[in-house]
């Protein structure tokens, strides 16, 4: 029973060390080393004996994660594991609660979460303060993303305002909604 376990453990151990990137290689080198390891797993799958289905699953799961597996080597400060990423978001939640005095997430975090969490994480991870140059939009694609984000925020704000209007005066809100429907010219 031991030879297949020893072989499979060696592969998993090598995969962990390759992805751990202790040698601080660039993304291309890590991807190439990992591809070599996966090639060896495919070639020697049958050597794993009764653990061959586990090797298949490892290869399948690795293939499903492949598109985002190497971003942490190209983006500075991006945590390489889910645990590290959860820690970053947990720290952002903790700081949000401390600054607002709330025990739960503030409504502003729900509305502007995509902006506030990214800003909080960037502030925590940044070694120097942001300058005006860092905040400039440098190309048309960045400007388009900014406009799209502003549109999403405005949509969420309007939805929250509508909820508040409905909670304050449900009958008046529904009557105004009905009037708008009748004025739109749609058949009733």
Chain segment 87-142, per-residue pLDDT in tens: 777 777 777 777 777 777 666 665 666 666 666 666 666 666 777 777 777 888 88
The whole-number pLDDT of residue 187 equals 64
Rg (alpha carbons) of the chain, rounded to whole number: 26
Specify the higher pLDDT residue, 98 or 3.
Answer: 3
Please state whether the predicted TM-score (pTM) of the whole model is above 0.95.
no
CA–CA distance, 134 with 30 (Å, rounded to integer): 29
Q: What percent of the chain has pLDDT over 90?
A: 9
Tens of pLDDT, residue by residue over 76-94, are 767 776 677 777 777 777 7
Query: What tokens does 168 get?
Result: 């304050």
| 35 close to 75: Cβ distance less than 8 angstroms | no
Q: At 30, is the pLDDT very low, low, confident or very high (cuts 50, 70, 90)?
A: confident
CB-CB contact of 111 with 157 (8 Å): yes
Residue with the two structure tokens 């090797």: 55
Torsion of CA 161, 164, 169, 175, to 10 degrees: 40
Q: What SS3 class is residue 147?
A: helix
Averaged pLDDT of the chain: 81
- Token pair listed for 183: 């004025």
d(CA 164, CA 174): 13
């Amino acid at each position: 029973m031991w030879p297949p376990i020893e072989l499979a453990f060696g592969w998993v151990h090598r995969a962990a060390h390759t992805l751990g990137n202790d040698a601080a290689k660039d993304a291309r080198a890590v991807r190439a080393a990992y591809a070599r390891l996966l090639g060896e797993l495919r070639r020697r799958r049958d050597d794993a004996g009764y653990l061959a289905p586990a090797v298949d699953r490892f290869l399948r799961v690795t293939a499903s994660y492949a598109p985002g597996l190497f971003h942490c080597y190209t983006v500075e400060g991006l945590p390489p594991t889910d645990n590290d990423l959860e820690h970053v978001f947990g720290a952002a939640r903790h700081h949000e609660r401390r600054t607002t005095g709330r025990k739960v997430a503030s409504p502003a975090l729900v509305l502007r979460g995509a902006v506030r969490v990214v800003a909080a994480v960037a502030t925590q991870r940044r070694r120097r303060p942001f300058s005006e140059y860092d905040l400039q939009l440098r190309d048309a694609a960045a400007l388009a993303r900014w406009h799209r984000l502003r549109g999403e925020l405005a949509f969420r704000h309007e939805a929250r305002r509508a909820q508040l209007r409905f909670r304050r005066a449900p009958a008046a809100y529904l009557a105004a909604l009905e009037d708008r429907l009748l004025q739109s010219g749609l058949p009733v």
